[in-house]
A and B are shown apart, each in its own frame.
Chain A
């Protein structure tokens, strides 16, 4: 009974803190501006099923794709076991789904095989990440925390899978002894030969200690891991789904047309536009900003992207600017956006729900001009992202701010703009010469 109460408390605390962290992230994401989506819910659902659920974009790199799929499938399927553990924990039962008989045997058997495969995949991942010199794991933004974060995730998974197999092995041996409470149920294709022999000769009491210990370690580990997610890059296991649902379904080449600019241009250019039809500016309204200086100027989809990024670095690996040694790294754009958004969120928490200007911004303080001006807008990053994150749209919005608010474009681009304004071409040629090509030799 005491253990049931303890379990209920642990579960309640874990869910409470997870819920609190999620609601903060939700609040932070909604600091972004609203945006209009194209495409029907059906198109969006199909994209989500393909890209997130089906992991179609992972296949570009087959080895990590296979390993990742194992861990992903393990995560999804072993959750059924977690459900059983929770019911057992709350009601003091043991293997409550055992009544399913052969189905249960099949389920436990497949969980064991998956757990073993996940264990192996995580070991390979750790080796890849730490000993093979895979370039994308060593970018300039891969500082101490992102590197540790990645290793923590893998080690936690190893521990959880290890505990799961250990628990099963002890259970298997206890079932064999006919111990009280330990109903004969499940099949143990991995733990019975891989783990159980290590426990041979132990007394029933010792085995129960191991079984209970591993059981508690496993479930408390899962609950702790759940609460680690919102602070980790591993949060992608949750965010991948909404993020791909809200994917950009237009051609990648299309950039948004700024509605605020459209209004101004119409007033300026259209002789039929009535300037007096514009409502008088609200004196209390915040002055409108063109482009994005800070995270609040981005839209919520871009902010959702930031929380979705799992820092795999495929974008940076494919980026032509990064490949040729420039400072720009699309992954860093996403990580900086998340870091700044977290900072803004903490500022709001500390100031009773209102953001107090801290004199900082996403541009300059987090993302430099040098990074922004290195982008060729080639869309290699958006193509490479396995969960449809769009660093390019953030780069463009920050460029817009630099140009429209700070007039801080590189000198050559100012000249280009002047040429377009004066002669309708980015070079200094007269518009009246546009047809010369036809008559020249």
Chain B
């Protein structure tokens, strides 16, 4: 299924401005699993009639993994050119499905000249659901047990714990908390550029430890809110050969399902 998306360049050429810029991110653009999240969120924006645009080919990595890997030069070069593009289009409000992009755009760009209102998609979805711009049934999740894995850069990094939970609550399902959740949440193992390298020698992979904990609560669905956490948890579920019983979905996908979009 294709989605009809406008780039901000197209929109501006027509003399219009978007309500939000959807920052897709590298995973959302290129990773096969994450692309589904991108689509689900885009469909939700369409359904709620949100006027949004993407940067398209003008988007580039925020520099988050480079910065966390110690490559400050590369990070600031990425930031510099991204900020030039965003400022050129006079972007005011950004929504992104990636907590890493979210954190970088929100916390690290302002000092470098990029000042925008930045929201994670869980926050934006919560807003449009509460405003009544988007309505969902939630029926398809009745009786399902959903647990939520807090992404570090959303939770501890930025103190956002409630928005994702509010979305799950609207699904009419049974929410079970993990043993380590919210500020005590355990990392999936992908942050700090670990996603792009082999783990250092150790006894266990971090995502296996986290998935083990998630499987303990016997969920039907592990809800993620970050494309990297999603990969790590999906791999973990496969490791335990539970992929037929336990699904890993992003919040956007869950809401899209409840909104009858899939």
Contact = CB atoms under 8 A, between A and B. Distances in A.
Interface in B48-78: 54-57, 59-61, 63, 65-74, 76-78
Nearest to A392: B192
A291 interface: yes
Interface stretch (A1-9, A124-132, A166-174, A419-427): A419-427
A266 to B, nearest CB: 8
Interface string A412-440: 11011100110011110101111111111
Contact of A403 (B69, B159, B190): B69
Contact of A413 (B60, B159, B190, B196): B196
Interface string A355-387: 000000000000000100111111110010000
A43 interface: no
B157 A251 contact: yes
Interface centre among B70, B183, B200 (most CB of A within 10 A): B70
Interface stretch (A137-145, A217-225, A256-264): A256-264
B61 A321 contact: no
A402 interface: yes
A328 interface: yes
B112 interface: yes
B262 interface: no
Nearest to A399: B70
Given A261-B73, A318-B184, A324 B157 contact: no
B35 interface: yes
B241 interface: no
Contacts of B30: 425, 427, 429, 433-434
B209 interface: yes
Number of contact residues on B: which range applies?
35 or more
A324 B205 contact: yes
Contact of B70 (A326, A409, A436): A409
A420 B189 contact: no
Interface in B178-215: 183-184, 186-187, 189-206, 208-210
Given A262-B76, A379-B156, A410 B197 contact: yes
Contacts of B60: 424-425, 431
22 contacts: A253-B157, A257-B111, A269-B80, A270-B80, A318-B184, A323-B186, A324-B203, A327-B201, A328-B200, A378-B156, A400-B72, A409-B71, A410-B197, A416-B196, A420-B63, A420-B66, A425-B29, A426-B26, A426-B65, A427-B30, A434-B59, A435-B54
A274 interface: no
A434 B24 CA distance: 9
Contacts of A429: 26, 29-30
Contacts of B195: 426
A268 B78 CA distance: 12
A277 interface: no
A421 B28 CA distance: 19
A136 to B, nearest CB: 15
A438 B38 CA distance: 9
Nearest to A255: B67
A254 B107 contact: yes
Nearest to A421: B74
A266 B2 CA distance: 40
B1 interface: yes
Contact of A265 (B70, B77, B197): B77
Interface string A269-290: 1100000000000000000001
Contacts of B183: 383
Given A253-B157, A324-B202, 15 more contacts: A60-B184, A251-B106, A254-B108, A257-B108, A320-B210, A324-B189, A324-B204, A324-B205, A327-B202, A373-B197, A374-B200, A378-B192, A383-B183, A413-B196, A437-B29
A258 B56 CA distance: 29
Nearest to B34: A437
Nearest to B193: A413
Contacts of B217: none
B39 interface: yes
Contacts of B77: 265, 268-269, 421
B187 A253 contact: no
Contact of B189 (A320, A434, A436): A320
A412 B206 contact: no
7 nearest CB pairs, A to B: A253-B157, A325-B203, A399-B70, A424-B60, A377-B192, A254-B107, A378-B187
B82 to A, nearest CB: 9
A429 B193 CA distance: 18
Interface of B: 1-5, 7, 24, 26, 28-31, 35, 38-39, 42, 54-57, 59-61, 63, 65-74, 76-78, 80-81, 103, 106-108, 111-112, 152-153, 156-159, 183-184, 186-187, 189-206, 208-210
Interface string A39-63: 0000000000000000000001000
A378 B103 CA distance: 12
Contacts of A326: 199-202
B192 A251 contact: no
Contacts of A250: 107
Nearest to B31: A427
Contacts of A374: 199-200, 202
Contacts of A325: 202-204
A425 B63 CA distance: 9
B156 A380 contact: yes
Contacts of B108: 254-255, 257
A180 interface: no
A346 interface: no
Interface string A394-410: 00100111111000011
A267 to B, nearest CB: 11
A159 B57 CA distance: 71
B71 A432 contact: no
A441 interface: yes
A252 interface: yes
A265 B103 CA distance: 21
Given A420-B78, A426-B26, A251 B206 contact: no
Contact of A420 (B57, B65, B204): B65
Contacts of B28: 437
A437 B76 contact: no
A321 B199 CA distance: 9
Contacts of B107: 250-251, 253-254
Nearest to A373: B200
Interface string A94-123: 000000000000000000000000000000
